[in-house]
Amino acid sequence: MLLINKPHKDLLYETLSKVEKMFRIMNQKSLVTFQRRVISSLSKTADKRYLEFMEKYPDLEQRLNQQQLAAYLGISHEFLSKIRKKLSGK
């Protein structure tokens, strides 16, 4: 992780144009990722978002508590429990 204050960042941008370009590209990629996540959250059901999360990050569910995963999916932890129960066939 890099921690840099705004005056130093601005100086870096002025001094090294490649650094400015790198940060601009990183910011653009972050924005695109965020936009895709918002669109996905608005256009897909909670069940579908959960299944896609499990497919994309199969080992991560074990490392997160239920509240963290529910917050990531944009649902309550009670609703996440219902989804898990429904998908497990119980």
Helix, strand, or coil (residue 87): helix
User: Tens of pLDDT along 7-35?
Assistant: 998 998 899 989 899 989 999 999 999 99
Domain hosting 35: range is: 1-43
Q: 50 pLDDT exceeds 80?
A: yes
Are 56 and 34 in a shared domain? Answer: no
CA angle 34, 87, 77 (to 5 degrees): 55
With a cut of 80, say whether residue 80 has pLDDT above it: yes
**Do 23 and 60 lie in a common domain?**
no
Q: Is a pLDDT exceeding 80 seen at residue 1? A: no
Distance CA 77, CA 74 (A): 9
Please report the pLDDT score of residue 60 as a whole number: 92
Residues 53 and 77 in one domain: yes
Does the global pTM surpass 0.75?
A: no
Instruction: Let me know whether 2 and 39 are in one domain.
Output: yes
